[in-house]
Amino acid sequence: MSAGIASSVAPGAVPAIPRLELRSISKAWPSVLANDAVSLQVMPGEIHAVLGENGAGKSTLMKIIYGVMQADSGSIVWEGAPVQITSPAVARRLGIGMVFQHFSLFETLSVAENLAVGLGDRASTEQLSERIIEVSRRYGLEVDPRRAVHALSVGERQRVEIVRCLLQQPRLLIMDEPTSVLAPQAIRRLFETLRAIAAEGCSILYISHKLDEIRELCQRATVMRAGRVSERCVPARETAASLAAMMIGGELPHVSRAPAQTRGEVRLKVESLSMAAADPFGSSLSEINLQVQSGEILGIAGVSGNGQKELLELIAGERLAPDSGRITLCNVQAGQLDAGRRRALGLGVVTEERLGRSAVPAFSLADNVLLTAHRQDMVRSGLIRRTAVRAFARRCIERFSVKCPNELAPARSLSGGNLQRFIVGREVLQSPRVLLVAQPTWGVDVGAAAFIRQALIDLRDQGCAILVISDDLDELFEISDRIAVLAGGRLSPAQACEHTSITDIGLLMGGARYAH
């Protein structure tokens, strides 16, 4: 570990000019100093990691580089010349592309139409579609240009964002959590692609909470904590634990999971569930069978877009009347019950989309509590008990260590990890009998991820039946008692985690058939 590390330069060679240099960048909001005199250099052809907890200031810094917002002070130097990046359009003209963690796509437009808007491309839709297909196949990021964005899963939307950037042939590519929804095999292919792009001279700023990826892929790392640069290091010389310690300023939280005790009654049972896709490009479900008992966690792995979204919607009650099959929830036939009646039976749900589905961005945290927890004595005689609502929100903030000014803060003002803590806390504090969770720690830092995973294990130990859908295999093996794979709308038989491996599950995610 060292305070400053120069890029490698051959003896006698003239040092290259940095592709990007930030000098003392600062940005303040009314309640927080997001960036405090941050300085950073990225060299041509370098893959440079930016690490930090949620709320450390990484996203704000990247948005300043991309022109989404302006710094209060400091300067940006691009290839040796000072520049003012006043908008994303200016950034793109310089050669800067960015893949956002929270996507910037128009829901009602197709993939091709979205990319045409983002690229300002005057080519015909057919020509652009051909380019999209070519680039997506080349980089292993399958995208159908005809599909409407509203019908895509989170993982598929992320692929669209990555393809949009690659179409621009950028000189600096900013990637925010690019592998969070990819299978292990797809991650390997993406890494090969990024190394090839870097070898051609493109610089890459890489943000990820997967520290083993950082160690494998990135030449240098800048670590941020509380808005400031706290460390600079060469990731390959560090361990995942030492990187995590730099990020959080202390020991990495440890997730403790003992084997499940004697399991109780079957709380959730799905039998021969089939349903045709709602749109021509969606995922159909075929003969899904699963059951989750009280006191266990069943993990479902799979590459995003293989039916996870559809399965969650059917179990949660967002969709009714499957073509065939039954859903039993707490010994009640629930297939024709709406979402509210299923929640009344004891169902809790954490969707994969934090903003827009699990939380209303403009609502305060207190009002977001009311959306799903109103049965917790928050409404009497049709009137909202504001005192009870705010007390529940404060309890959630305190118990789940949510960093925010107070319970009246808008949901959109929180970092991704802090909002996820709040959403998970809101459901856990209702003591659900069955909990559905999709992508519980997507885009969440190592400390928050450990906290959320421990909260799910603790809830299991209290007797809850938990179904977790995740693309993160390390996560599933850390918290699950049994694991199954959803691929092509079909679910493999669940296996005890100790009787399978990440390699075996990864192969099933990639399309290998399971033994009947």
Q: Dihedral angle at the C-alpha atoms of 63, 66, 70, 75, nearest 10 degrees?
A: 110
> Are 201 and 288 contained in the same domain?
no
- Write the pLDDT tens digit of every residue in 336-380: 999 999 999 999 999 988 887 899 999 999 999 999 999 999 999
Of the three residues 202, 221, 248, the one that is the final residue of a domain is 248
Instruction: Quote the CA–CA distance of 136 and 91 in Å, as a whole number.
Output: 23
Question: What CATH number corresponds to the domain at position 496?
Answer: 3.40.50.300
CB atoms within 10 A of CB 475: 22
The per-residue pLDDT for 380 is 92
- Look up residue 196 and give its two tokens: 């090839």
Closest CA to 98 of 19, 171, 197: 171
Of the three residues 248, 277, 299, the one that is the final residue of a domain is 248
**Is 454 inside a domain boundary?**
yes
Of the three residues 198, 218, 248, the one that is the final residue of a domain is 248
Half-sphere exposure of 58 (CA within 13 A, CB side): 33
Hey, is 57 helix, strand or coil? Answer: coil
CB atoms within 10 A of CB 47: 25
The per-residue pLDDT for 244 is 86
**Is 332 inside a domain boundary?**
yes
Instruction: Quote the CA–CA distance of 182 and 204 in Å, as a whole number.
Output: 19
**Is 391 inside a domain boundary?**
no
Instruction: Quote the CA–CA distance of 289 and 200 in Å, as a whole number.
Output: 48
**Is 377 inside a domain boundary?**
no
> Are 211 and 280 contained in the same domain?
no
Q: Where are the beta strands (DSSP E) in 195-322?
A: 203-207, 220-225, 228-233, 266-275, 285-293, 296-301
Instruction: Quote the CA–CA distance of 262 and 339 in Å, as a whole number.
Output: 30
Place of tokens 């509590």: 369
Instruction: Quote the CA–CA distance of 489 and 305 in Å, as a whole number.
Output: 9
Show the domain range for 292: 266-346+432-509
Q: Where are the beta strands (DSSP E) in 346-491?
A: 347-350, 379-380, 383-384, 434-438, 465-469, 482-487, 490-491
- Write the pLDDT tens digit of every residue in 460-505: 999 999 999 998 888 899 999 999 999 989 999 999 999 998 888 8
Instruction: Quote the CA–CA distance of 312 and 115 in Å, as a whole number.
Output: 28
The per-residue pLDDT for 3 is 36
10 Å CB burial of residue 432 (0-12, 13-18, 19+) is buried
The total of structural domains in the chain comes to 2
C-beta of residue 344 within 8 angstroms of C-beta of residue 404: no
**Is 471 inside a domain boundary?**
yes
Instruction: Give every residue of the chain whose pLDDT is below 70, as ranges.
Output: 1-15, 101-102, 118, 120-122, 154-155, 180-186, 252-253, 262, 280-281, 321, 323, 511-516
> Are 194 and 126 contained in the same domain?
yes
- Look up residue 56 and give its two tokens: 């450390």
